[in-house]
Structure 1
Amino acid sequence: MTGTVTVWLMDDAQKSWPELVQQVNDEFAEKYPKVQIKLSYHEWGKKVSELDAAIAAGQAPDVVELGNTETLKYVVDGSLLKQEANTFDNSDNWIKGLVDTCTYQSTLYCVPYYAGARVGIYNSKMFQDATGSADFPQTESALIDALDKMATKNKGNAGYSPLYLPGPYWYAAMSYVTAYGGSIAKFDGNGTWHGTLHDAQSQQGLQHFVDLVHDYNKGDLKVNEQDQAKVLGHEKAGLIYANGWEQSVATAPITGTPALKDVLKVAAMPGPNGKPLPSFIGGSDLAVTAKSQNAQAASDWVRMFTSSKSEQLLADKDTLPNNLVQLAPLKNKPSTSAAANAVENAWFTPLAPGWSAIEKQNILPNMLNAIFSGKTVEQATKEADAEIDQLINKQG
C-alpha cells in the first residue's frame, strides 16, 4: 500500500502525550512503510470551522479527533466512515457514555479515545471550619448535613452559597435526571425519537435538582454556570459541580484566589442513590472520514492509537482511558479517583438528528428558567417535551 494518511489531532496530544503520537507513528510506519503520515495539530476553538472548510473543499483529513459533543453533526451528514467495534482493543469494555457519542442508529462511526467527567470542587477549609472535617462527604445525606452547617457558619458572608448550583445548568440537572433513571429523550421501536423529560423518573430527578438549587444557591437563580469557578475562587461558595479544569480558574489571579491552591480539592459528587452522581461524559473520539482514499490504513492508525498499550500511556498520565479495565486502577488513585468513579455511569445527549437544533434553541435552559420563575416541574417538562418532539427527528 502507498499514499498518505492525513491525521488531525487536537493540540492537547502535542502538549500532553507527544510520546504516544511518536510511538503510534513508528508502529504505523513498520506496518505501512510506503504510506506517509501527515499529522497536524488543531485548536479547539478553530477546529470545527477548519474541518467544515476542508470537507467542503474535498480535502478532509483521513483521521480526525472530535470532541464527543462534535460527533453528531458529522455522523448525521454522512462525513464519517462506519467502524466495526470488535476490531478495536477493549471494545467489549469501552465506557458506555463514550460509545454513545459514536453510535447512531446502532451503528458505530468513531472510536472512543479518552474520557472526562464533572466532579465536585470544594473549599476544604470551609468544610473543616463548619463540620470539623476537611474530608468531603461520601453520601448525599452527609453532604446535605455539611452544606447546612456551612450555611450557618457563613451566614455573615453576604451572597454566600454552600453549594453554588446554577439554575439553568442543564448538564447538572440532567445528571440528577439520569441518577433517577430518567432521560432527555428516547428512541422508540418505530424509528422515532421523543422527549421523556415528563416521565415520572425524569421529573423526580429534576425536582431533586431544583430543590438543591433553591436550598443552597443564594445567588441569582437565573445565572448560568459560566462563572461558577470565579464564585468558588472568590470564596462565595463552598462547593461547585464542575469540570476538573475549573479548579485552575478558581485559583488563578483575577478570576480567583491563588492562595486557595492547596485549599480547593476535587471529589466525586455523591448522587441521591448512594452512588456517584452520573456525569455528562467528556472526552474525545477518533473518526475516519467517509471519503478517505486510504480508509484501511487510516482505521489501522486509529486502532494503534486506541490500543491497550496506547490507552495505558494515557492512564499513566492521569487521563481517563476509553475502557473500564484500564480505568479501574484510577478509581483508587487520589489524583484521578473523583473523575474515574464518575465516568462509568456517565450519560450523553441523544444522538438524534435534531439535537443541535434543541441546543441552539436553549430548550433545556429555558425549561429550567421557567421552573425558577414559578412554573411547576410537571408543566415545564410537558412543554419542553412538546418542543423537543417538534425538532428532534429533523436534521439540522
Structure 2
Amino acid sequence: MTALAVALTACSSSASPAGGGKNGPADPKAVTGTVTVWLMDDAQKNWPDLVQRVNDEFVAKYPNVTLKLAYQGWADKVGRLDKAIADGTAPDVVELGNTETMKYVLSGALAPVDRTTFDNADTWIKALANTCTYQDKLWCVPYYAGARVAVYNSSTFQQATGSAEFPKTESELLTALDRIADRNKADRTFSPLYLPGPYWYAAMSYVAAAGGSIAKFDSAGNWHGTLHDARSQEGIGHFTDLVRKYNKGDLAVNEQNQFESMARGHAASFYGNGYEAASVTAPVTGDPSLKDAVKVATMPGPDGKPLPTFIGGSDLAVTAKSASVAAATDWVRMFTGSKSEQALADKDILPNNLTQLNPLKSKPSTAAAANAVPDAWFTPLAPGWGAVEKQKVIPDMLTAILKGKSVDQATKEADAAIDQLINKPS
C-alpha cells in the first residue's frame, strides 16, 4: 500500500443519518462523518488530475464530511482489505479488480447499488457489468475496462523486416520475430517478444483461441477445472512454446513491469494493456526518445483471428458496513460519471461504457484495445475464483511447465487444485 491518506476536509468522525435520493443524500450540507476511499495506485500514477477534480467536487457538495483517500498496491490489497473487513475498519469505497468482486459479493461485504442512478448505465460494457451482478442485483459499479494488445517498437521491426507495421497473422509475426532475433543475436538478453512465463492472462488467451477454458459449470451445479482438456492443453502448449523461444529474460518473472524491458532496449514487442505503451516512453518509468517508435496493434492469434483478450479493468464498490453509504455511493457516482469517464478516455483508458468507447475504436492509439472488447473472455464467475487466483494455481502451473513438467501432468494437477477451491466461497 502506498500509505497516502489525505483528509480533504475536517469534521465529526461519526456519520449522521441521511436519506439517499437518486443523486445522494437529500441535504448534502447536513451530512457529517467520514468517507474513506481506497483506490489502486494506477490512479495515482496515471490520472491524479481526475482524482483531484472528483475529490474537490465531493468536498464542495459535502462540506462537513471528511474525505480520506488511500492508494493501494495490487500485490497486497486483498490481504489488507480482508483484514480491514474482519477488524471493522474497512473503507467506505474500495476499488476491486474485476476478478476480485465475486468473492466480496458472496461474503456479504458489499452494499447493493441502484444501477439507474449512474451515468451511461444502459450502455455499460456487458462483461464489466457482469462482474458486479449477482442474483439480479448490482453490487459494484464498472470503473474502466482493459484489453490487451501488442505493444511494439516499430523502428526495430522496420530495421529487421523492412516494415514498421505489426504483422496481421501469427505466421507472419513468427517470421518477423525470427528475423528480429537474428538481427539482435549478439545481445543474449534481447527478446523479440517479451512474454513472461507466469503471465496467465496471456496464456489463457491462447487457451481461448484454441477453444479451451479454465473451468466449466456442470449440470450438477458445480464448477470444475478444464485445463487438462485437449483444447486447453493445446493453447497452454502454444503459449509456453512462444515463451521459451522468444523471451530471453527470466522466465519466472511476471508481467507486472514488462514495459521496462522495452524501455531499456531489451525487447521488440510485448503483449500488454494499451496504457503500458505510455509507460515505455514516460519520463520517469521509461525512455521518452522512443515516443515515435512505440506503437500498439492487434495481437494475432494462432487460428487466423485476433488473439482473444481478457476483459480486464476495475470496479468500485461501497462496503456493506459503511456508516456513510449514501455519501460514499455519491462519490462513486461522481468518479464514474460521463465527465470522469471522458477524462479516462482522453488518456487512452477504455471507459466503462460503449457510448464513450466507440470513438476510441478509430483512434490509432486505442483502436486495437477498443475493438477487442466485444469478443473478450473473462474468468469463471465462481464462488471460489478469488481463492484460485490467490493460490496462484495457473501461474504456478505455467512455471512448472517451463521448468520441465509436461503440459499433461501440470494441467491435471492444476485442475485438481481448482476443483478443491472453485466451489467454496473464498
Aligned pair partner of 1:347 in 353, 374, 377: 377
Residue in 1 aligned with 2:186? 156
Q: Is the 8 A contact 1:139 1:274 kept in 2?
A: yes
**Identity among equivalent pairs (%):** 63
Distance in structure 2 (CA, Å) of the matches to 1:24 and 1:146? 50
Distance in structure 2 (CA, Å) of the matches to 1:62 and 1:252? 33
Matched, 1:16 2:62: no
Residue in 1 aligned with 2:302? 272
Residues 357 and 86 (structure 1), Cα distance of their counterparts in 2 relative to 1, 3 Å cut? same
Matched, 1:3 2:31: yes
Runs of 4+ in 1 over 6 A off after TM superposition: 252-255
Map 1:101-180; keep pairs closer than 5 Å: 101-104=131-134, 107-180=137-210
Q: Secondary structure at the match of 1:241?
A: strand
Distance in structure 2 (CA, Å) of the matches to 1:89 and 1:308? 6
Matched, 1:287 2:317: yes
Q: Displacement, 1:296?
A: 5.1
Q: Is the 8 A contact 2:31 2:65 kept in 1?
A: no
Map 1:116-265; keep pairs closer than 5 Å: 116-226=146-256, 228-247=258-277, 250-251=280-281, 257-265=287-295
Aligned pair partner of 1:361 in 391, 409, 425: 391
Return the letter of the residue paired with 2:264.
H
Distance in structure 2 (CA, Å) of the matches to 1:59 and 1:254? 35
Q: Is the 8 A contact 1:101 1:348 kept in 2?
A: no
Distance in structure 1 (CA, Å) of the matches to 2:344 and 2:279? 24
Distance in structure 2 (CA, Å) of the matches to 1:110 and 1:189? 29
Distance in structure 2 (CA, Å) of the matches to 1:285 and 1:226? 20
Matched, 1:95 2:125: yes
Matched, 1:42 2:70: yes
Return the letter of the residue paired with 2:415.
D
Distance in structure 2 (CA, Å) of the matches to 1:390 and 1:321? 36
Q: Displacement, 1:285?
A: 1.2
Cα deviation, 1:167-198, whole Å, max 9, x if unaligned, reads 22212101211233432123334432211212
Cα deviation, 1:127-153, whole Å, max 9, x if unaligned, reads 001111112223333322321222232
Q: Is the 8 A contact 1:121 1:265 kept in 2?
A: yes
Cα deviation, 1:268-305, whole Å, max 9, x if unaligned, reads 32233454433333332121221345545654554454
RMSD of the TM alignment (CA)?
A: 3.4
Q: Displacement, 1:222?
A: 4.1
Structure 2, unaligned runs of 5 or more: 1-18, 20-29
Q: Displacement, 1:85?
A: 4.0
Q: Displacement, 1:385?
A: 0.6
Cα deviation, 1:189-211, whole Å, max 9, x if unaligned, reads 44322112123332232232123
Distance in structure 2 (CA, Å) of the matches to 1:313 and 1:246? 18
Q: What TM-score comes out, normalization by structure 2 length?
A: 0.78
Q: Secondary structure at the match of 2:216?
A: strand
Q: What TM-score comes out, normalization by structure 1 length?
A: 0.83
Q: Displacement, 1:234?
A: 3.1
Distance in structure 1 (CA, Å) of the matches to 2:256 and 2:89? 36
Distance in structure 2 (CA, Å) of the matches to 1:37 and 1:117? 36
Total equivalences in the alignment:
391
Residues 212 and 326 (structure 1), Cα distance of their counterparts in 2 relative to 1, 3 Å cut? same
Q: Displacement, 1:386?
A: 1.1
Structure 1, unaligned runs of 5 or more: none
Return the letter of the residue paired with 1:238.
A
Cα deviation, 1:300-354, whole Å, max 9, x if unaligned, reads 5544543445433432343311112321111111232233233333333334333
Distance in structure 1 (CA, Å) of the matches to 2:191 and 2:344? 36
Distance in structure 2 (CA, Å) of the matches to 1:158 and 1:64? 43
Q: Displacement, 1:50?
A: 6.3
Distance in structure 1 (CA, Å) of the matches to 2:337 and 2:286? 39
Of stretches 143-152 and 169-178 in structure 1, the one that deviates more from structure 2 is 143-152
Of stretches 102-111 and 315-324 in structure 1, the one that deviates more from structure 2 is 102-111
Return the letter of the residue paired with 1:41.
L
Of stretches 48-57 and 360-369 in structure 1, the one that deviates more from structure 2 is 48-57
Distance in structure 1 (CA, Å) of the matches to 2:425 and 2:226? 19
Distance in structure 2 (CA, Å) of the matches to 1:354 and 1:141? 38
Distance in structure 1 (CA, Å) of the matches to 2:64 and 2:247? 55
Distance in structure 1 (CA, Å) of the matches to 2:305 and 2:328? 39
Return the letter of the residue paired with 1:155.
K
Residue in 2 aligned with 1:65? 95
